[in-house]
Structure 1
Amino acid sequence: MLEALLYKSFPLRFIFAWLGILGLALLLFSSRRTSPKLPPRANEGTSFFSDILGFLASPVQFVELATGKYGSIFRIDCLVKQIFYLRGQKWNRFFLEMKEDTWSFSGGIGMFLDKAAKPGYFTHGRNLLGSINRGVNRSAALQSYGRLAGEEAHKSLQHWSQMPDVEIFESISRFVHRVIVRCMMGEDFYDQHVDELYDLLQQMESLVGHPFNLLLPAWVPHLPGRQLAKARDRFAEIFRERLAARQLKPDVWHDSLDYINYTLNDPRTAQLEDYYPSHHVVLMFAAHTSTVASIAWTIVELLRHPIYQEEIRESLATTSDIHQCAPLLACLREEGRRYSGVHMFRTTKRPVSLEGSDYTVPENSVVLISPYLTHHDPAIYPNPHEYKPHRWLLPDGRLDPWNGPKEAAFLQFGAGNHRCPGENFAAIMAREFLAALLMNYEMEWGSDGAPADFSRLDFTKVGSPWLEGDATVRIRPRELGA
C-alpha cells in the first residue's frame, strides 16, 4: 500500500529535492543523539534519494536484491521516515503478532488517508474498524450479501454478453463497487448515488497519492488539496442527505441488513455518525482494489488454462452450495497467492528489539513485510510462478486447510488477530460472480486476443496489483445442456 500511495507519474525527484534539506537536517540532528543499532541500509546509490526512488520504481526487484545482499532485515531511508523491512515466515509471524498499541495497522492507514477523512476520524478509527467484524460477519447479513452479489453478477454478465468486448479489470471494478454500495451502505445509496460514488472514489484514490497531498501539511494551499477536499465534502454530503431521509422513515429501515444501519443501532458507533463518510472511504479503499483483482485475475487464469473451467463446471453441477465448490475455492486461493499486494505495513509507536538480532526498530518508523514475495518463495511454494490450483487440494479433492496463521505463509487477508474482517464478504462476491459466469456463459479473449505480457503488474493501486493495460474478454450464453 505504501508504494501505491507514493509512486505516481508526478516528478518525484523535484519533490524530493526541495524537501531534501529538511530531511538531511533531521538526519544530522538524529545522528547526534544516542540511537539503537539499526539494520543495514539497502542502498542502490549513495543517498536516501536513490533508495526510495529505486524502491518505488520497482518494489519487487528492489526488495529481492536487498534480501540477497543483506538478509532478512534491512532498512530503506525515506526522507524523514525510515522503512524497516522484515523477510521470511519467522518475521511475518513477529510482525503479525505484535500488538496494535506497539506497531499500529490503523496508524499506518492514517498516515496516508488522513486528508481523505474528516479531522478526528482516526481518533475513533479503531472503534469503527472494530465494528466491521461484528456488523459484516453476521450470519443473516452474509446471506443477504450473497443474494445481492448474485443479483449484481447476473446483471453485469447479461450486460457483458451484449457487448463485443469487455475490459476485465475495469468492468469487474464497477461490479464490485455496486455490490459494496448496495450491501454496506444500503439500497438508498445504491438507487440514488451508486455511479456518483464510484466517480468520487476514483477521484479520491488518484488525489490522495498526489505528492502535494502526501507530503505537504494540510494548511498549505494547492490545487490537488482543494480537489481532494471537494470530493471528500461531496461524499459526506451524500451521507447527510441519505441519513436525514432515513430518519423520516425509521420503520422502513428498522430491519435493513446494510452495515450503515448496523452502526446506527450499535451504541458503540451510533454517536460517531459524523465520521461515517470517512469510515466508508477507508473501507472502500481497503475492499475494492483487492476484490477486483481476485475476480479479474481468476478470469484471466481460467482463460489461460481452460481445463480448470471445465473442472469447476463439473463440480458446480453436483454441488448444492457454490461456496463449497472445492475447485473454485482452489482457483481463488491460487490467484490470491500469485497476485497479492507487494507490501503490508505498520507504523511503530515504541521501540522494539528484533529477537535473535542486534537490531532495534525505533518509534515513528514504518515496518513492512511482503505477502507477494512470501507467496513466491520456492521454499514455501514449489514452482511459485506457475498457476497450480491443485496445490490447494487434498488427494480426495477437498480443500487443504494448510497455511493457517501459525505458518504465516499465506497472507492474502493477513493472519491471526490482524486477519481482514471483510474476508468473508470479499470471498462471497468472488464466488458468486465466477459461479454465475462459468455456469451460464462461455468466454474467450476479446478481439485483440490475449495480452502479450502477463507479468506487467500495476502495484500503484491500494491493494493487490491489476494487469497494466487491462485485457478484454468476450462472453456468450451457454447452450442448454452444454
Structure 2
Amino acid sequence: MPNPPVTLALPERIGRWARRRGPVFSIGVPPVRNTFLIGPEANRFVFANDTLFRAREAFRALIPVDGETALIVTDGPDHARRRSLVRPALHAKQVDGYVRIMAQAADEALATVPGEEVFDAYALFRAAIRRSTTLSLFGERFASRATGFGDDLQPVLDMVDTWPQAVDLHERLRTPRWRRAMASRARVDEVVLEEIARSREVGPDADAGVLSTLVHGRDESGSGLSDLEIRDQVVSLIAAGYETTSGAMGWLIYALGSDRALQERVREEVLPVTGGERPSAEQLRDLPLLSACVTETLRLYPPATISARYVAAGFEFAGTQVPAGSMVIYSPYLTHRDPEVYADPLTFSPERWLDGQRRPPHEYLPFGGGAHRCIGSTMATTELVVMAARLLSRGRIELAPQRVRATSFAAMRPRSGMRIALRDTSTNA
C-alpha cells in the first residue's frame, strides 16, 4: 500500500483555524498582523485584483538573494516591463533547447551512484538541478564554474530561509551570518556581472543560454535590461531552481517510490519512448503519465505552501474589511488538499490529470497566479520530467527505511533528504 502523504505543521494549523473561523480571519496585532484568505475563491480574488496588493513588502526577505529588481519583489509598470523582457528566455520553445542539458546533468549525477547502495536522491538531484539551471543560463562555457557558483550562493539562501523579521534583524545587527551571506553574494555578483559584460562584448549567441537572451532582448520601445536587472533575474532563476525544483523532485521520488505499481506503469511508458537514452523535447510529449505524476506532485507538495501579499489599498472580502497595511496570506497547500476542490485529495493520483484534464488557476496554483505567477514554471516542470525519466531509466526506485518529514519556508522540501536505492540498474529492466 502506498505511503501516506507527508504533512506540514504550519499550513495544517492554518487549515484548522480556517475550519473554525471561516475563510477570512486575522491573527496578531499591528504592526505584525496577518489576514488569512483561505480557499479557491480567496485565491481568485487575490489573483484578479493585483492593484490592491504589492509583492515587495511581502517578499522583502528575498532581496538579499534575488536583488532589488527581481520579478518577485517588484510591482506595477516596472514589474510588467521586466517580465516582458524575461519571458522570451523562458518560452516553451526556448526551454526545449535546454532538455539535452537537463538530461546530461541528471546522468552525470547518477553516474556517481555506487551500484545498488542507498544514497540521498534529494541531495543528488539538488546538485544536478543547480548545475542544469546554471548551464541553461550561461551555456557550456560556464560548465567549469557551475559548482563553485552554487556553493557561493548557498549561504545567502540559508539566511533567507526563515521568517522575514529574522532576516531584518540579521541585517540591522550586521550579524556574522549576515556578513558571511553578503560576502557570498559579492562573489556571486562578480561572476554574473563578468558573464554579462562578456555577453555584451561578443553579441547575441544562441549557445550562451538564457543570459544572452536577457542581455540582448529589447522591448517595443527598444529598451533592454540593465546589468543590475539582468543580475537579479539570473540569480532569481538559479535560487528558484535550486530550492523549489529540487524540493519537488524529492517529493516526486517519494511518490513513485511509495507506489510500486504506479512506478512500474511509468517505467513501462518511459523506456519504450526513450529506449533508455536521453530524451528529446519531442519525446517528452509522449510521456503523459510521467507528466501527470509531476503535476500531481506539485498539487500535493506545492513549493510555496503559503504565500503573501501586502495590502496597498483596503478592500472587503467575504463580508470582512481588510485594511491597507495588512499582510494577506493565502495557501496553495490548503487549496490543493481541500476535499471540496479535489476528490480524495490526500491520495497521489496522477490519473486526475490525464485526458487533458485541467484546473483553473485559483484551484491549481503551485506556481502562484496573477501578475506574479512564476515565470519559470515551464522550465521547472520540464526539468522534473527529464530528470525523473533518467532516474527511472537507471532502475526501480526503492525507498530506504526512514522517517520522511517536510520543512518549508522558501520551499516545501524533505527535511532529512530522500534515501533510496536503485534496483536492476545494470539491466534497465
User: Alpha carbons of 1:430 and 1:78: their partners in 2 closer, same or farther (altered >3 Å)?
Assistant: farther
Matches within 5 A, 1:55-134: 58-77=9-28, 80-99=31-50, 101-109=51-59, 111-116=60-65, 118=67, 127-134=81-88
Corresponding residue to 2:306 among 323, 343, 348: 343
Q: Distance in 2 between matches of 1:116 and 1:78?
A: 29
The worse-fitting range, judged by mean Cα deviation, of 117-126 and 253-262 is 117-126
Q: In the TM superposition, what is the alpha-carbon distance from 1:177 to its structure 2 partner?
A: 0.5
Q: What whole-Å deviation, never above 9, does each CA across 1:306-331 have from its counterpart, x for those lacking one?
A: 11122112223454723331211221
The percent of aligned pairs where both chains have the same amino acid is 20
* TM-score for both structures, normalised by structure 1: 0.76
Letter in 2 for 1:240: L
Q: 1:84 to 1:471 in 2, by over 3 A?
A: same
In the alignment, is the contact (CA less than 8 A) between 1:106 and 1:126 conserved in 2?
Answer: no
Distance 2:313 2:143 in 1: 43
Partner SS for 2:351: helix
Question: What is the correspondence of 1:237-316 to structure 2 with a 5 Å cutoff?
Answer: 237-247=190-200, 250=202, 254-256=205-207, 258-268=209-219, 270-316=224-270
- Select the residue among 156, 173, 194 that pairs with 2:146: 194
Distance 1:436 1:367, change over 3 A: same
Aligned-residue CA RMSD in angstroms? Answer: 2.7
- CA shift digits 1:151-205 (9 cap, x unpaired): 11222222225573321211111011011101123333332x2122211222101
When residues 230 and 72 of structure 1 are mapped into structure 2, their CA distance, relative to the original with a 3 A threshold, is same
What SS does the aligned partner of 1:409 have?
A: coil
Partner of 1:404: 360
Alpha-carbon displacement from aligned partner over 1:16-56 (angstroms, at most 9, x marks no partner):
xxxxxxxxxxxxxxxxxxxxxxxxxxxxxxxxxxxxxxxxx
2:342 match: 381
User: Displacement, 1:98?
Assistant: 1.4
Alpha-carbon shift at residue 69 of structure 1 (Å): 2.1
AA matched with 1:204: V
Q: Would the aligned equivalents of 1:117 and 1:281 in 2 still touch at CA under 8 Å? A: yes
**Partner residue in 1 for 2:323:** 362
The one-letter code sitting in structure 1 at the alignment partner of 2:357 is P
Residue 267 to residue 402, structure 1, CA distance change in 2 (3 Å): closer
Structure 2 match to 1:155: 108
Aligned with 1:330 (options 277, 286, 292): 292
Question: 1:353 corresponds to which letter in structure 2?
Answer: E
TM-score normalised by the chain length of structure 2? 0.85
Q: Deviations over 1:82-137 (max 9, x none)?
A: 211111211111111112x321235522x212233555665655533443322211
Name 1:26's counterpart in structure 2: none
Give the superposition deviation at 1:246.
Answer: 4.1
Q: Which runs of 4+ in 1 moved over 6 A?
A: none
Instruction: Identify unmatched segments of 5+ residues in structure 2.
Output: 1-7, 274-281
- Give, in whole Å, the separation in 2 of the partners of 1:302 and 1:117: 33
CA–CA separation in structure 1 for the residues paired with 2:160 and 2:54: 20
Structure 1 residue 475 corresponds to structure 2 residue 422: yes
Residue among 406, 414, 428 paired with 1:457: 406
Secondary structure of the structure 1 residue equivalent to 2:58? helix
Name the SS for the 1:444 alignment partner.
Answer: strand
| SS of structure 1 residue aligned to 2:374 | coil
Q: Is the 8 A contact 1:334 1:389 kept in 2?
A: yes
8 Å CA contact 2:61–2:168 kept in 1: the answer is no
Question: Equivalent residue for 2:138?
Answer: 185
**Alignment check: 8 A CA contact 2:200 2:216 kept:** no
- The one-letter amino acid paired with 1:306 is R
**CA separation in 2, counterparts of 1:230 and 1:417?**
33
Question: Using the alignment, how far apart are the partners of 2:292 and 2:199 within structure 1?
Answer: 42
Task: Report the equivalent of 1:204.
Answer: 156
- The equivalent of 1:353 in structure 2 is 316
CA distance in 2, matches of 1:71, 1:481: 52
C-alpha change, 1:363 and 1:287, in structure 2 (3 Å) is farther
Letter in 1 for 2:129: V
CA distance in 1, matches of 2:12, 2:249: 26
Q: CA deviation at 1:208?
A: 2.6
Distance across 2 between alignment mates of 1:217 and 1:297: 31
Deviation at 1:370, TM superposition (A): 0.8
Q: Which whole-Å CA distance do the structure 1 matches of 2:21 and 2:225 have between them?
A: 50
Q: Report the Cα distance in structure 2 between the residues aligned to 1:132 and 1:149, rounded to whole angstroms.
A: 20
| 1:401 alignment partner AA | Q
One-letter identity of the residue aligned with 1:349: A
1:481/1:267 CA distance change after superposition, 3 Å: closer
Contact (CA 8 Å) 1:161, 1:474: kept in 2 or not? no
Q: 1:477 to 1:79 in 2, by over 3 A?
A: farther
Measured in 2, the distance between the counterparts of 1:364 and 1:290 equals 29
CA deviations on 1:448-476 (whole Å, 9 max, x unpaired) are: x322x44x21123x12x122222312225
AA in 2 matched with 1:102: L
Shift of 1:480: 4.8
State how many pairs are aligned: 404
Aligned residues of 1:404 and 1:415 also touching (Cα < 8 A): no
Say whether the 8 Å CA contact 2:134–2:238 is kept in structure 1: no
* Cα separation, 2, equivalents of 1:79 and 1:305: 47
Q: Give yes or no for the alignment of 1:171 onto 2:133.
A: no
Distance of aligned partners of 1:265 and 1:168 in 2 relative to their CA distance in 1, 3 Å threshold: same
Deviations 1:410-452 (A, max 9, x none): 111234554322111011111111112223323323xxx322x
